[in-house]
Structure 1
Amino acid sequence: MPLPKDLDPYANPRAFYGAELRRLREAVGLSQNGLGERAFCSGTYIGLFEAAERRPQEEISRALDGLLGSGEHLQRLCRLARTSKVAGYFADAAELQQRAVSIAEYSSMVVPGLLQTESYARALTRAAHPYASDNVIDNHVRTRMERGLLLDSPTPPVLWVIVHEAALRVPVGGATVIAEQLDHLHSQAVARPRVVVQVLPYSAGATPLLHSAVTLMHFSDAPPAAYTEAAYSGQLVEDSGLVEQISSAYDLARASALSPEASLSLIKSAAKGHASDAHLS
């Protein structure tokens, strides 16, 4: 994929990285495929960097500097291009979500970020950062809410979400906050035809993803990718074999989950239960 002629290399650090990579590649007489072969990746992958459609990676930037004889030039540009408002370990996945035609998420304990309410996101963020200032918490929550705008884009991805029943029961933020969150989860699945929600019930027992948080992303112009997350850390997975293994595990979880209709009924029932608790407190 060549660098688009109307891409301004000075528009942002990522565009400058792409322009410099292309300049260096052409200076040594290599095609995108030729450089990709030497860097043990595809020519398409090199093209995505040059077109500023993918955030550059530190490891491959180091390899490219070695292949192109550019010292640490691309590595320094990479550090500039990787600045992000979201946590560093999630930044690549957050960007890929913007390009995905479909997103499949599984969460064992919480409602996934794209479907969170502000109050629920704030409660989760405060729990994860108990000593942070209010300003820091506000910035985290604002960023998470901005991510949710993806569903309002002209061509939103198909979003398929599986949440474990435990996510419906844990009163994150208290009874009022979780009731509001579950009502929102229900309404999003009802109002948005491209959003599907399933609940994996306690009765399903052990499944391959039981203790996981997983996101699978499919694209129209690139191989699928996955993202796995734990507390304060996450990993983007692009190895085709591992992505396929995660995808198979997700399919098993989907088969064990309640139907979308039964899931919505359980979500509504749980929301009413929490609302009742809030009324009594």
Structure 2
Amino acid sequence: MPGPKDLDPSSSPRAMLGAELRHAREKKGLSQAALGLKLFVSGTFVGQLESGTRRLRPDMAPLIDKVLETDGFFERNCGAAAKSKYEDHFAEAAEAEAQAAAIRQYAPLLIPGLLQTPAYARAVNRAYDPTATEETIEEWTEGRMERIRLLDHPTKPVLWTVLDEAALRRETGGRTVMAEALRHIADLARRNRAIVQVVPLSEGAHPAIQGALKLMEFEDAPPLVYYEGPGTGRLEDDPATVAQQRFRFDLLVACALSREKSLALIEALAQDYDHEENP
């Protein structure tokens, strides 16, 4: 019987690699948990590889080939599945985000990527690297806008964002850029495309005051939590950790303004930015 074909990088390589992994695992009579033990990862992680939610790391591919006796297939094809237009620390998170059925996030210092306008994204990218060329800034900005296209679907993913009032008052890119950015968020909320709430500055300390938070849920894979910092980020699938962060997000929602009051604040701030720019 002929072995599996090498992957075509132009045709959803991660999904194909995941399907081949499931086939090879089942052929060996191993459960996801049993294979995970041999690979020194969780069974949950194996399931996420098979569903295409997580990418196969190059350092893991040779071990998979050895355990499943796949004659170097995964090592040969891992490169196709690892290609991404995003920076290494964010690539896996961006790819998981695109497959998520629901995304819950808290943004303490800036408007998060899925809610940004091109002008706001450009200002953030320029601040991130003041010495980058204009071509690089535009490439990064277009990459962010491409991520946002997942919101073109009228209902999926469910997007629930809690913004800190500080992010709305931080003048990123100038008043005109901020006015446009806040009107864009208000439009998403009014069209019921996103659930948006604001934690007011008057709330003081709150459950997520230490940093940003993003939770992603999937139809055919366990949930993930993503932690991000300057130039770094990691996905976590440990069920206890995910549950803890989900609880933290629920507490944060309880601290936030209602959807109606949040929308009123966002629109009022947008008007203030407009007025101050054009008195």
TM bucket, shorter chain: 0.7 to 0.9
Change (3 A) 1:155 1:199: closer
Equivalent residue letter for 2:231: Y
Equivalences for 1:101-140 in 2 at 5 Å? 101-140=101-140
User: Greater shift after overlay, 33-42 or 211-220?
Assistant: 33-42
Structure 1 residue runs of 5 or longer lacking an equivalent are none
Give the deviation of 1:60 after TM superposition: 4.1
Q: Distance in 1 between matches of 2:45 and 2:167?
A: 37
Alignment of 1:1-281 (within 5 A): 9-10=7-8, 11=11, 13-14=13-14, 17-18=17-18, 21=21, 25=25, 29-33=28-32, 34-39=34-39, 40-42=41-43, 45-46=45-46, 49-50=49-50, 52=52, 54-58=54-58, 60-61=60-61, 63-68=63-68, 74-75=74-75, 77-153=77-153, 155-191=155-191, 193-280=192-279
With 45-54 and 224-233 compared, the bigger mean Cα shift is at: 45-54
Deviation at 1:239, TM superposition (A): 0.9
The normalised TM-score by structure 1 is: 0.85
User: Structure 1: how far apart are the matches of 2:37 and 2:119?
Assistant: 48
- Alpha-carbon separation, structure 2, partners of 1:261 and 1:212: 25
Identity percentage over the alignment? 41
Listed as ranges, the gaps of 5+ residues in structure 2 are none
CA deviation after TM superposition for structure 1 residue 140, in Å: 0.5
The count of residues paired between Structure 1 and Structure 2 equals 272
Instruction: Specify whether residues 17 and 133 from structure 1 end up closer, same or farther in structure 2 by C-alpha distance, changes over 3 A only.
Output: same
Report the secondary structure of 1:105's partner residue: strand
One-letter code aligned to 1:262 = K
1:221 aligned partner, one-letter code: D
**Aligned AA (1:182):** L
1:69–1:52 Cα change, 3 Å: same
Does the Cα contact within 8 Å between 2:6 and 2:76 map onto a contact in 1? no
Seen in structure 2, the aligned counterparts of structure 1 residues 169 and 155 have a Cα distance that, compared at 3 Å, is: closer
Residue type at the aligned position of 2:244? Q
Taking the aligned partners of 1:73 and 1:168, their CA distance within structure 2 comes to 49
TM-score by length of 2: 0.86
Counterparts of 2:98 and 2:137 in 1: how far apart (Å)? 23
Cα distance in 1 for partners of 2:253, 2:193 equals 17
Say what the alpha-carbon RMSD is for the aligned residues. Answer: 2.8
Letter in 2 for 1:136: T
CA distance 1:180–1:59, change in 2 (3 Å):
same
Alpha carbons 1:106, 1:214 under 8 Å: kept? yes
Relative to structure 1, the CA distance from residue 41 to residue 203 in structure 2 (aligned partners, 3 Å threshold; closer, same or farther) is same
Cα deviations by residue, 1:187-238 (Å, 9 ceiling, x for unpaired): 11101x2411000011111123113121111112221111111111111111
Cα distance, 1:142–1:50 mapped onto 2, change above 3 Å: same
